[in-house]
């Protein structure tokens, strides 16, 4: 029986998300599958900064805090701001199912993708970053249709 991977990354990505994935891949050291969190610097990718977010991962209990959030992607996420936990804000586009996707990304230790095909379509990519022996951060990017 073939299992379905939730939030699986497809072969065809939106151009902006593909650039973020390429940057994440370039951050990997040696044979590591996941880049280190301390290698991710928003200022090192100014062309992508308007599409990015960084989520800090807390393991027990599992929670996700917004550490960086580009103003361009705030959208309907009422209360979404750096320093806030995603379980403290009202999630709406472009944050639909963000907790589930973040949890799946940590559990798999691999990139994840969510596409929203509603009234205002967008796609969101989450990428794990390693520190202190576990996934400590998630790099996220959002691309709206037509961007």
Q: In this structure, are residues 135 and 34 in contact, taking their beta carbons and an 8 Å threshold?
A: yes
What are 21-32's pLDDT values in tens digits? 999 999 999 999
Q: 55-84 burial string, b = 16+ CB within 10 Å, else e?
A: bbbeeeeebbbbebbbeebbbebeebeeee
Q: What is the pLDDT of residue 71?
A: 81
| pLDDT on residue 141 | 94
Q: Is the pLDDT of residue 12 over 60?
A: yes
Query: What is each CA distance from 37 to 61, 64, 129, in whole angstroms?
Result: 20, 15, 5
Q: What is the pLDDT of residue 147?
A: 64
- CATH match of 15-144 with 3.30.450.20: yes
Max CA pair span of the chain: 45
- The predicted pLDDT at position 76 comes to 56
What pTM was computed for the model? 0.92
Summarised one tens digit per residue, pLDDT across range 33-47 is 999 999 999 888 888
Which token pair is 100? 């589930």
Task: Quote the pLDDT of residue 73.
Answer: 79
pLDDT tens digit sequence for 78-130:
678 889 999 998 877 889 999 999 999 999 999 999 999 988 899 999 999 99
Predicted local confidence at residue 81, as pLDDT: 85
Question: 3 versus 132: which is more confidently predicted?
Answer: 132
Give me the DSSP letters along 39-88. G--GGG-TTTGGGEEEEEEETTTTEEEEEEE-GGG-TT-BT--TT-BGGG
């Amino acid at each position: 029986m073939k299992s379905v991977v939730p939030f699986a990354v497809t072969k065809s990505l939106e151009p902006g998300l593909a650039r973020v994935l390429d940057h994440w891949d370039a951050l990997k050291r040696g044979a590591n599958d996941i880049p280190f969190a301390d290698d991710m610097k928003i200022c090192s990718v100014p062309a992508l900064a308007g599409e990015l977010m960084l989520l800090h991962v807390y393991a027990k209990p599992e929670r996700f805090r917004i550490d960086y959030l580009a103003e361009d992607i705030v959208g309907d996420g009422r209360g979404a701001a750096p320093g806030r936990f995603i379980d403290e804000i009202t999630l709406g586009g472009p944050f639909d199912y963000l907790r589930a996707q973040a949890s799946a990304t940590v559990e798999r230790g691999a990139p994840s993708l969510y596409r929203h095909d509603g009234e205002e379509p967008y796609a969101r990519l989450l990428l794990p970053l390693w520190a202190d022996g576990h996934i400590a951060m998630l790099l996220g990017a959002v691309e709206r249709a037509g961007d």
